[in-house]
Amino acid sequence: MSKFHITLALLLLGACSKPAELVVYCSLDQDLSEQIIRDFEKEHDVEINVQFDVERNKTVGLVSRIIAEASSPQADVFWNNEMAHTIRLKNLGLTAPYSPPSAEGIPAIFTDDDGHYTGFAARARVIMYRNDIEVNYPRHLNDFLTPNIAETGVMAQPLTGTTLSNFAYIIQRSSTAEVVQWFDDVENAGLNFAAGNADAMRRVCAGDYQWCFTDTDDAAKAVANGYDVAIHYLDQGVEQSGAMLIPNSICLIKGAEQNDLAKQFINYVVSAETEFRLANSTSAQIPLHAAVDAPPGMQLPNRDYPVLDIPWAEVAAELDSAASTFQQLFVR
């Protein structure tokens, strides 16, 4: 083949290949989020380059990447499986405002006053326990200190994801010293630790432990896979009683190349239709739109169990310090 024909072939190949038009970083489990992303891709005839997080680095890996890329943003949108790190990105000046019309009906506590993020499709922090045997599981966080309860249970190390957010909140409500002492005490009481929430759930399903501290989505997956387990909405209250509710969140990255397309994608993801899909998925994510019909049997916040009023901005401000503390405590 002549040099001319080779050059022509390469040019034609380049013309036929469709470059990625939208870059999405996503920390929600791939098996739950990818089909939603691909459906948007198909409906809008675009190509999406999506980067997923892995369980052991849940959320933190992509957040660190966005921070590292601050001078030259590579992502257009960040779909986070929790709220606090998204607020952290806003505080670092790495997000841009956009209030999606489809978010109408989501309680204001889950949206940013300045439009930098929107919360949707939540999970509750719960105790999942075996239902085939009698289990003495914790009803309140303080019950973790009881040896005959602690010895039969497992929870994720608070290094990433919702567990980090959870204990950053507890630090915010008490102090770092008190939380460090609590972890020392529960470890001495016999509590076991896993790499992540999903790992803790699997250890209970495997019969290694009788209960775990996890999220409703992991518990729902265990039920969907045929395991005889039940959940208890753990009371984590101090001045008030209630379980901790942690939504997904989504934000527009400042400097996004595909600004308009990114806004369309955000509007699509936070819609009532997407919340309905996630509620009816194996993870049974809790819809925040008032108009979304929950699946039969789904327990709803403030109807079936009380929830805490989380000061998310304060929790976000605590994340860096909490993460550093827990690294020193658990990574030895």
- Same domain, residue pair 206 and 283: no
Amino acid occupying residue 133: I
Domain membership of residue 305 (yes or no) is: no
Backbone angles phi, psi at 285, to 5 degrees: -70, 145
Confirm whether 308 is domain-assigned: no
Query: Do 52 and 150 have their domain in common?
Result: no
Interacting residues of 320 by C-beta distance below 8 A, sequence separation 6+: 88
Q: Which of 11-15, 16-20, 160-164 is predicted with the least confidence, judged by mean pLDDT?
A: 11-15
Domains contained in the chain, number? 2
Looking at the structure, do residues 270 and 128 belong to the same domain, yes or no? no
Confidence of residue 4 (pLDDT cuts 50, 70, 90): very low
- Asked whether residue 126 carries a pLDDT value surpassing 80, the answer given is yes
DSSP assignment letter at 111: B
Do 141 and 233 have their domain in common?
Answer: yes
Scored b (16 or more CB within 10 A) or e, 248-264 reads bbbbbbbbbebeebbbb
Is residue 22 in a domain? yes
Q: Taking the complete model, does pTM exceed 0.85, yes or no?
A: yes
- Domain around 23: 3-121+247-299
Residues 196 and 130 both lie in one domain: yes
- Region 60-82 average pLDDT: 95
Decide if 311 is inside a domain. Answer: no
Q: Residue 79: give its domain's CATH number.
A: 3.40.190.10
Alpha-carbon distance of 189 to 151, in angstroms, equals 7
Evaluate whether residue 310 is within a structural domain. no
Establish if 312 belongs to a structural domain: no
Q: How far is CA 55 from the centre of its chain?
A: 11
Band of residue 53 on the pLDDT scale cut at 50, 70, 90:
confident
pLDDT in tens, 237-247: 777 789 999 99
What percentage of the chain exceeds 90 in pLDDT?
86
58/98 same-domain check: yes
Task: Tell me whether residue 190 is in a domain.
Answer: yes
Q: Provide the pLDDT for residue 13.
A: 43
Q: Which residues contact 94 (CB under 8 A, 6 or more apart)?
A: 66, 67, 70, 73, 253, 254
Question: What's the residue count for the chain?
Answer: 332
Same structural domain, 194 and 324? yes
Pair (228, 127) in one structural domain: yes
Q: Establish if 314 belongs to a structural domain.
A: no
Residues 106 and 156 in one domain: no
82 and 48 co-located in one domain: yes
- The whole-number pLDDT of residue 296 equals 94
Question: Does residue 258 share a domain with residue 206?
Answer: no
Q: Output the average pLDDT for the chain.
A: 92
Q: What is the pLDDT of residues 195-244, one digit of tens each?
A: 999 999 999 999 999 999 999 999 999 999 999 999 999 999 777 789 99
189 shares its domain with 290: no
